Chains A and B, each alone.
Chain A
Amino acid sequence: MSGVGVRGAERFWVIVLLLPTLLGLALGAFGSIAATIGISLFQWDLLSPARWVGFDNYLALPENRSFLKALGNTALFSAMYVPATLSISLVVAVLLNQRIRAVGLFRLIYFIPVVTSPTAVGLVWTWIYSRDKGVLNAIVTTFGGEPVHWLGSDMALYSVVIVNVWGAIGEGMIIFLGGLQAIPRDVYEAATIDGASRFQQFLAVTVPMLLPSIFFQAVLSTIHAFQAFDYVYILTQTGNGGSSLPMLVFNIYREGFNYFRMGNASAQSVVLAVIVLGLTLVYSRLNKRWGQHG
C-alpha cells in the first residue's frame, strides 16, 4: 500500500479533504440506491403520503404494457447498438493505428459527435430523417423509392440505433487506440517475419491482446444502451408526449417525472440496474474465461 501515514493534526486535513467524496458516496450513491429500492416498495405520488405496497410495483410490471414495450425496445436496441459500436470503433481504431498520415485529422473528425450535445445534434438528425423534405428521403426518391417514415414506429428503432452508434464511435475509438498502443510493436514485427498478412495479424495478435479493452468497452456500451435517452427524446417524441420508440429510461422519465408515480418509476429503475449489473457480470465471466488464453 503506497502513500504516507498521517499523525495528529494531519488527520484533520485528511477528513476535510475527503469529506465531499465521502458525502457523495454515502448520500449521492449508496444512500440514493438504498432509497430507490425503498421507494420501489411504496405507492407515492408526492402529494398524498406514501403507501406501503410491498412488491406490488414489481409484480405489476409483467402486466404493464408500456414497460414491456420499453423493455423489448431497449433489448433490441442494445442487441444492435453494442455490437455495431464495438466493431466499427474497433475497425476505425485499428486503421488509425497503422502507419498512415493525417491520423490527427481523422481522429478529430470521428470524435466530434462525442463532444457535441446529443439534443442539438439530434435536431440535425430529425431534419435529415424528416419524412417530407428530409435529405435522406430526397436520396431515396431520386433512386425511385417511396419516401420512408424514418422516425415512425416501424423504422424508429433502426434510425435511432444509427444515430446512437454514430455518436459513440469516437469514444470507442479512443478506448481501443489506448489499448492498441499498449501492444508492443515487435509482436507485429515478429508476425510479419513469420509471413502473416495484416488481416491474419489482426485476428491472431490484435484481437486477443485487445480483449480486455473490448470487454471494458462492451460493458460501457451496454450501460450506455440501457441508459439511452437524449436521442430517443429528441428523435421520437410524439405530439402527446409519448414516443414512437419508448425505451426504459424514457418510460422511467414519464412515470416518475410526468406522472409522479415514484414507486413505479423506482421499481423500473431497479429492474434496469439489475439487468445492467447482470450483463456486467456475464461480461466479466467471459473476460475471465477467454481473456486468460490471450
Chain B
Amino acid sequence: MSVVTASAPATELPTTAFLARHLRENIWFYLVLIVGGVLMVAPFVWMVSTALKPAADQFTRDLIPRQVTFENFGRAWELMEFQHLVWNSFRIATLSTIGQVVTCSMGAFVFAIVRFRGRDLLFVLLLATLMVPYQMTVIPQFIIFRTFGLYGTDVPLYLPSFLGGAFGVFLLRQYFRTIPIELLEAARLDGASLFRIYWSIYLPLAKPALAALAIFAFMNSWNDLFSALIYLPSDLEKTTLPVGLALFQRLYRAQWALMMAAVIISIAPIIVAFFFAQKQFIQGFAATGIK
C-alpha cells in the first residue's frame, strides 16, 4: 500500500542563486498555495485569538489579543463539566477502535489469504456497502436497539464497530497481501493453526496498517455527531463532545470567547495526534482512493 508522499525535493545543495531561481520560476505556485493555506487556517487562528481574549474583549477585532488570558478554558470546563463529555467520547471512541481493529483484521486476514468459493463475490458485496448512505441502515438499527432497551445507553455507539466494516477490511486486506505467502506456508507446515498465523505473524507485521485504521476509527467516533444525537440523552453527563458543543451553543449564546475555548478543548486531542501521526491519518484517507 503506498502512502502519499511528497515529491522528492531537489537534491542539489540549495545555494542562494538556486533558491532565487527556484522561487522566480514557481512564484505563482507558491502564491496560490500560501493564499489558500491562509484561508484554510484562518478560522483556527481566529478561534485561538478569541479564546485567549477576556470576555470583555471578545468583540474587539484584534487578531492579537490586547490582553491574553487562559480563564476561558477553566470556565468553559467548569460550566460544561467537560470531564464527563471527554470521558464519554474517549470511552466510546476507544471501544469503537478496538472493535474495528479486531474484527476488520480478522475478516481482512481471511479475504487476503484464504481461497474459498464465493470469496470474490462476497468481497464485492462488502465494498458495495461503502456506497450505501448511512441513513439507509440507521432506522432499523435504531428500532432494534430501542427494542432491546439500549436506547439511551452508549452501546449503540460502539457495538456496530464490532461487526467489521468495508473500509477497514479493504485497508488491511491490501496490506496483508503484501506479506510474503511463504511465511504462512512455513507456519502451516509447522502445524500452526490459522488463528495462530493471524495472531502471531500477520498482526505484528501489519502494525502500520493497524495504526492507520485505529486512528481512522478513533477519529470517526470522536467526531460523530449523528449517532450521539439520536441514541444518547441530551444531558451533559451522558452525551459526547459533539452533542455537548451543540448544547453549549444553545446555553451560552454569543459567549464567543468561552465557546472558542470549549471548541479548542474538544479538538485538541485530535489535532495533537494529527501533528504526531500525520502519515497514519492521511494513509486512511489515501486508501479510499486506491482502486
Which A residues contact B (CB, under 8 angstroms)?
1-6, 9-10, 13-14, 16-21, 23-25, 27-33, 35-36, 39, 46, 88, 91-92, 95-101, 103-104, 106-121, 123-128, 130, 132-133, 135, 138, 166, 169, 171, 174-175, 177-179, 181, 212-213, 216-217, 219-220, 223, 226-227, 229-230, 233-234, 249, 252-253, 256-257, 262, 265-266, 269-270, 272-273, 276-277, 280
Contact = CB atoms under 8 A, between A and B. Distances in A.
Contacts of B104: 21
Interface stretch (B64-72, B141-149, B206-214): B141-149
Interface of B: 2, 4-7, 9-10, 22, 26, 29-30, 32-33, 36-37, 39-41, 43-44, 46-47, 50, 59, 61, 103-104, 106-107, 109-110, 112-116, 119-120, 122, 125-126, 129, 131-143, 146, 160, 162-165, 169, 177, 181, 184-185, 188, 193-195, 198, 219, 222-223, 225-226, 229-230, 241-243, 245-246, 248-249, 254, 256, 259-260, 262-263, 266-267, 270-271, 274-275, 278, 281-282, 285-286, 288-291
A29 B242 contact: no
Contact of B266 (A2, A120, A135, A256): A120
Nearest to B151: A46
Contacts of B29: 95, 98, 100
A276 B1 CA distance: 29
Given A21-B169, A128-B43, A181-B7, A220 B288 contact: yes
Contacts of A121: 43, 263, 267
B229 to A, nearest CB: 7
A216 B289 contact: yes
Contacts of B112: 3
B125 to A, nearest CB: 7
Tell me what chain B mostly uses at the interface: helix, strand, loop, or mixed: helix
Contact of A5 (B115, B184, B193, B225): B115
Contacts of B103: 20-21, 24
Given A10-B194, A127-B259, A216-B289, A31 B140 contact: yes
A16 B41 CA distance: 47
Given A24-B163, A32-B140, 15 more contacts: A3-B114, A14-B110, A18-B110, A21-B126, A24-B103, A35-B139, A113-B40, A116-B271, A117-B241, A119-B242, A120-B266, A223-B133, A230-B242, A252-B135, A273-B133
A120 B43 CA distance: 11
B160 A17 contact: no
Contact of B133 (A10, A97, A181, A227): A227
